[in-house]
Chains A and B, each alone.
Chain A
């Protein structure tokens, strides 16, 4: 029996084998992301919101901390929306996901991956899943730590009460959900950008301006920004200022499903590109 006949005689898809292969790639990618310099940079970035909340919650100005003066929920929402969502999540995802394939193209090692018995679409899915897991773990930890610090003025018992009996627990879950969805949405987008562009500055700059100025966009165009859906899920509504074009936020289900569908669509395009991709490092 020839190998082709032998293969044809086997079950169409060996799911256990496939799971081991994808698991192997996810672990390989996780090691690459969490045990290298990248993890240190991401770790430092994710510590920024923690440090900011710590500052505003512990340094008194005129006898009161900022948390006490303006209310811990409003202060946290502002920090989360402007610093975390508006900068750290965006650029953190850019750093990791842009390099998911581009990094290996630049170090001329992508061919090793493409010479393994894995469909290229699965390579995209496995690398992306590993990156989402790594980035989400770091940023969710940052969200939890920074959120806990808003309870500095009320102490441990006040924190437990708010988290269990008050709205604190629901808010924390909402922030964690937004963190996860931001990683999924921006992650897919930057994975594609990394496949198409050699230098991230122009595409990432354009995307950043688009995302940050989304509040000025007309309602139809707002729907084309990731942050529009993420903001709709945030627990404390904040004003976007006097120049904002105000629209009703999409229902949570639409935001969640819309972002997941968006990520799936972008990844499908990425998979199509890598299917047709040729390895010619001299051009990169």
Chain B
């Protein structure tokens, strides 16, 4: 497929001084729903801000539908960005917010009014359209941002955590809206820190961790990979006052495959196929006063740990 229909990111890095934002990102994203998934602080918003030209890459280049991000006059007719910022022009109502920025696209008032009405209906904010945004709930603010980003009918929609703060009903409607937009041949790039939240609606998933793209691919393949990874042992470290005793208790568990004491006698590493059960055991032992734990966490920093982190997030609500 031609580059002119895709989002093309070539060897892009972004550093904030010495701090890494993203590094050596190389992606070509086709139309459809693509999810960018990674833990908080992994570089999702940085990458999205780079796509929107709100940040400048330290290295590399980005082309969207054949346009460099430095040409707003061409790009932003076809590009909509719903940022993470929960802020709005002071005093604006929902209607004014969507309508006034549509006028900056060069639309006449009638057309801008028609699009504003249609978009507010799409996001379910018709009844609150003439109320000030400052009085909106978190979910309504999220939806009015989304409306502003998609009102001009862009071919590329970049949405930073768009499902945050939405109640289940609205979330389902919003997901349906994404499906409709993608069905019309548009790009919908969604970020999330919860894999489960987006994997069912996405055509493909990009996993990002510590500023690096650690995996990308079609969802069925990724899901199989995730399941496979879940079966593999995860390395966990514990810093505590009684590592030998804890090692003994850990070995009683059938899912713990290996335990290694730290040289300084202040902790241990172990491999387990069920980190959740092990962590529950540690919590119980701490509650009983059997051990004092200073720190506990995954010791892997590779793809497996990222998957595990994301899958754990998925399980949190239940």
On A, residues with C-beta under 8 Å from B are: 2-5, 7, 17-18, 20-21, 24-25, 27-28, 32, 36, 104, 107-109, 111-120, 276, 278-281
Q: List 25 A-B contacts (CB under 8 A).
A: A3-B66, A3-B67, A3-B155, A5-B66, A18-B106, A20-B107, A21-B104, A21-B105, A27-B103, A28-B104, A104-B89, A107-B89, A109-B88, A111-B52, A115-B52, A117-B73, A117-B75, A117-B76, A117-B77, A117-B105, A118-B73, A278-B54, A279-B49, A280-B16, A281-B85
B74: chain A residues at CB < 8 Å are 4, 7, 117
Q: Given contacts A108-B87, A109-B87, A120-B72, list 12 more A-B pairs with CB under 8 A.
A: A2-B66, A3-B155, A7-B74, A21-B103, A28-B104, A36-B91, A114-B54, A115-B79, A116-B76, A117-B74, A117-B77, A118-B72
Is B301 part of the contact surface with A, judged by Cβ < 8 Å? no
B83: chain A residues at CB < 8 Å are 111
CB < 8 Å: which of A24, A107, A120 contacts B103?
A: A24
Is residue B273 within 8 Å, beta carbon to beta carbon, of the partner chain? no
Q: Which residues of B contact A276 (CB under 8 A)?
A: 56
Residue B78 is within 8 A (CB to CB) of chain A in the complex: yes
Chain B 64-107 residues near chain A, CB threshold 8 A: 65-67, 72-81, 83, 85, 87-91, 100-101, 103-107
Contact present for B73 and A109 (CB under 8 Å): no
Q: How far is the CB of A15 from chain B (nearest CB, A)?
A: 11
Chain B interface residues (CB < 8 Å from chain A):
2, 4-5, 16, 49, 52-56, 65-67, 72-81, 83, 85, 87-91, 100-101, 103-108, 148, 155
Residues of chain B with a CB closer than 8 A to A3's CB: 4, 65-67, 78, 155
- Cα distance A20–B55 in the bound complex, in angstroms: 28
- Closest CB pairs A-B (n = 9): A4-B66, A24-B103, A2-B4, A108-B87, A117-B76, A279-B54, A116-B104, A17-B106, A20-B106
The prevalent SS among residues of B at the interface is loop
Q: Can you name the residue of chain A whose Cβ is closest to the Cβ of B76? A: A117
- Pair B72/A114 contact, Cβ less than 8 Å: yes
Please indicate the chain A residues that have their CB under 8 angstroms from the CB of B89 in the complex.
Answer: 32, 104, 107, 109, 112
Q: State how many angstroms separate the Cβ of A276 from the closest Cβ of chain B.
A: 7
Write the chain B residue with the least CB distance to A18.
B106
CA distance A25 to B80 in the complex (A): 18
Q: Which residue of B lies closest to A114 (CB)?
A: B54
Which residues of chain A are within 8 angstroms of B66 by Cβ–Cβ distance? 2-5
A6 to chain B, nearest CB (A): 10
Q: Which of B53, B88, B89, B90 has the most CB of A within 10 A?
A: B89
Give the contacting residue for A108; candidates B2, B4, B85, B100; CB below 8 A.
B85
Across the interface, B104 reaches (CB within 8 A) one of A25, A109, A280, namely A25
What chain B residues lie within 8 Å of A119 (beta carbons)?
Answer: 72-73
A27 CB contacts on chain B under 8 angstroms: 103
- A36 and chain B: residue at smallest CB distance: B91
Residues in A with CB closer than 8 Å to B52 are 111, 115
Per the bound structure, the CA–CA distance linking A21 and B81 in Å amounts to 19
Residue of A nearest to B82 (CB): A115
Q: Are B72 and A278 in contact (CB under 8 A)?
A: no
B126: min CB distance to chain A, Å: 21
Which residues of chain B come closer than 8 Å to A116, judged between CB atoms?
72, 76, 101, 104-105
**Interface pair B108/A20, CB less than 8 Å apart:** yes
Say whether, besides A117-B74, A120-B72, A276-B56, A28 and B85 are in contact (CB < 8 Å): no
Contact partner of A118 (CB less than 8 A), chosen from B91, B104, B155, is B104
How many angstroms from the CA of A108 to the CA of B88 in the assembled complex?
7
Q: How far is the CA of A28 from the CA of B53 in the complex (A)?
A: 23
The answer for the CA separation of A115 and B148 in the assembled complex, in Å, is 11
Structural contact, B54 and A4, CB atoms closer than 8 A: no
